[in-house]
Amino acid sequence: MEKNRSEADLKETAGYTFRYDSPLGIMTGISDGEKLCGLWFSGQKYFDKDTRQYREEEQLPVFQQTKRWLDCYFSGGISGFLPPLLLKGTDFRMEVWEELMKIPYGKTVSYGKIAAAVAEKRGLERMSAQAVGGAVGHNPISIIVPCHRVIGADGSLTGYGGGLDKKIALLSLEGAEGVSL
């Protein structure tokens, strides 16, 4: 996972797009030609970008890898690889997204636990779970960067940019522990 400048750069670096017909609906991905820069469900909050300016290139190696990863995931499997990713955001968002990548398949973590991990990393006494929620909500690469695995402190299923129905379906597919679906 490569770090880069800011979320505003997403539109500038991505030049290619593809569509994936998932069991939960159409997903759109964008790439700079080598790395996956974005992946979201149609209508997803913050990331339903107009991709008409991008060239459709279904056969790019990064898109083929992403499709293989998604096919494996939606078949209930855990792939042994990740497509190359290019995440862009503030330092804070990048730290939160790195924590998301540590959440194992079928497990969930609360916003508060992620906040505590980021606070510790930064040498702070505490960090706002709400701020973490904002960073989680702006994750540009759905499912692969598993923001759907973040839950409320009481185990409640709070927000998901793609829709709570999709969060429930993803956690159910994974057989997630510690949540009532």
The residues that are catalytic are 147
What whole-number distance in Å separates Cα of residue 90 and Cα of residue 131?
12
Query: Which residues, 6 or more positions from 164, have their beta carbon under 8 angstroms from its beta carbon?
Result: 157
Q: What angle do CA 174, 176, 178 make, to 5 degrees?
A: 180
In terms of Cα–Cα distance, which of 53, 32, 59, 23 is closest to 140?
32
Query: Which residues, 6 or more positions from 100, have their beta carbon under 8 angstroms from its beta carbon?
Result: 114, 136, 139, 145, 146, 147, 149, 150
